[in-house]
Amino acid sequence: MLARILFSLILRLILSIVSFYFLYKVYINTSVDPLQIPFNFEEKKQLFRDSFQNTNEFHDKDFKCKTYEELIMEPKTQKLGDVLIPAAVYNTATDDYTLEIQLNSPCAYFLDLLAFPTYLPVYEPEVEAANPDGTTPGAWAQEAGFTSNGAFTLTSWTHNESMVYEKNPNFYRADDVKLEKLEFMLSADDTAIYAAYNSGDLDFADTVPTDEVGSLLDNPEFNIIDTLGTYYVGLNVNSDLFDGLTATQASEMREALSLLIDRQYIVDTVGQTGQVPADTFIPDGMADGNGGVFEADDFGYYDATTTGASMVDDAVALLEDCGYTFESDGNGGYTISPALSVTYLTNSGTGHEAIAQCIQQDWGLVGIEVNVEVEDWNVFLEDRK
């Protein structure tokens, strides 16, 4: 776990989800306006206390099809409850325009789940036509022109370059949509994005180069937006790094690597916008499931503001339990035996690369060699699999 950092990965994810909602609309039929769904835990619990079911309706103007059966995948391939909704019993289309989801117990965050992209309706004939043998489930949405029921449709997509959204005339509230077109620049190059913004080619940018952050803090056009998230390093527990170690030793190695990372330094020199060093995987502000808000201070694994150089001796002791030996290098660090080398994969972006360099330095204090490999996003996703 590293610091909670608002870098391009997190912000692009947020922007991707927001832009996704331009293409799709979720309908939640409750006793309140969908835009006024209660966020208070007790209100939500009351909403589901007596009858644990929710009914979703869609408008026949929004899709080419007329029935819900054509929209939703069969339960055997998309069954609510298998992963994200443990309280769901079944889902069924009660008529041409209604999907009923039956729950077996209260689920206070159920309406929030329905707003997640996983539960938005898709046009099944189009999905199946693009994936006849079941080997390419996302093929239907890889090019512009696929069916969607939101305020906009994707009319142009030049991969890794641009997207164009245009107003959907079939949207049930089309008269309320004031913009005719949205144009997006697609790039993983923070410097190019920032240059495009400064030249007037972009009205909004979600990322800036790390070395520009300090100079922008007093700029009225620069906005810092809070978000829930934890920036973390994932270790491949099936790698050679853990060969021959017991479960306890593997745990100690992971703990040692974690303690060596100077989170406060990353926050101060890379993040620079008030991020909080993470001492839990769950960030502050998450609902705790019991009507309250999670506070990391109550559950921290360690003092995240002191990890790094001050924890070197603790990390060395843990690694010695894993069979490694150390000698001082005379410069405040150590050499390690047997030699230990780690490959650190990250996607491109000045923030990600700067964090990788910080960790390379931190782990180097005990003699661990870190090889940083920067990959394009798609390659990075494949390699992480």
CATH number where 306 lies: 3.10.105.10
Contact 118, 129 (CB under 8 A): no
Asked, for residue 185, whether it belongs to a domain, the answer is no
What is the pTM (predicted TM-score) of this model? 0.70
Q: What is the pLDDT tens value at each position of the chain, 385 positions in all?
A: 232 223 333 333 333 444 555 666 654 444 443 333 333 334 433 433 333 344 444 444 444 433 434 433 333 333 333 333 444 555 677 777 777 777 777 777 777 777 777 777 788 889 899 999 989 988 999 999 998 888 899 999 999 899 999 999 988 889 999 999 999 999 989 999 999 999 999 999 988 999 999 999 999 999 998 888 899 999 998 999 999 999 999 999 999 999 999 999 999 999 999 899 998 888 888 877 777 888 777 778 888 999 999 999 999 999 999 999 999 998 889 999 999 999 999 998 899 999 999 999 999 999 999 999 999 888 988 888 7
Q: What is the pLDDT of residue 119?
A: 76
Contacts of 194 (CB under 8 A, 6+ apart): 205, 207, 208, 209, 212
Q: What is the pLDDT of residue 90?
A: 59
Task: Give the domain-ending residue among 95, 127, 159.
Answer: 127
Asked, for residue 180, whether it belongs to a domain, the answer is no
Give the residue among 293, 247, 271, 252 at the shortest CA–CA distance from 8. Answer: 271
Residue type (1 letter), 237: V
Asked, for residue 175, whether it belongs to a domain, the answer is no
Q: What is the pLDDT of residue 384?
A: 83
Asked, for residue 170, whether it belongs to a domain, the answer is no
Asked, for residue 31, whether it belongs to a domain, the answer is yes
Residue 338: asked if its preceding bond is cis (omega within 30°), the reply is yes
Q: How far is Cα 356 from Cα 368, in angstroms, rounded to an integer?
A: 14
Q: What is the pLDDT of residue 219?
A: 94
When divided into structural domains, the chain yields a total of 2
Q: What is the pLDDT of residue 383?
A: 87
Task: Give the domain-ending residue among 72, 99, 127.
Answer: 127
**Residue 47 belongs to a domain with what CATH number?**
3.90.76
E strand map for 270-358:
325-328, 334-337, 341-347
**Domain identity same for 122 and 233:** no
Task: Give the domain-ending residue among 127, 156, 188.
Answer: 127
Q: Residue 325 — φ and ψ, nearest 5°?
A: -120, 155
Asked, for residue 101, whether it belongs to a domain, the answer is yes
- Packed helices 247-259 and 312-321: angle between N→C axes, nearest 10 degrees: 160
**Domain identity same for 86 and 233:** no
Asked, for residue 274, whether it belongs to a domain, the answer is yes
**Domain identity same for 113 and 253:** no
**Domain identity same for 373 and 243:** yes
Structure token pair of residue 63: 């899709």
**Domain identity same for 249 and 365:** yes
**Domain identity same for 245 and 363:** yes
Asked, for residue 318, whether it belongs to a domain, the answer is yes
**Domain identity same for 101 and 248:** no
Q: How far is Cα 315 from Cα 320, in angstroms, rounded to an integer?
A: 9
Which domain covers residue 40, as residue numbers? 25-127
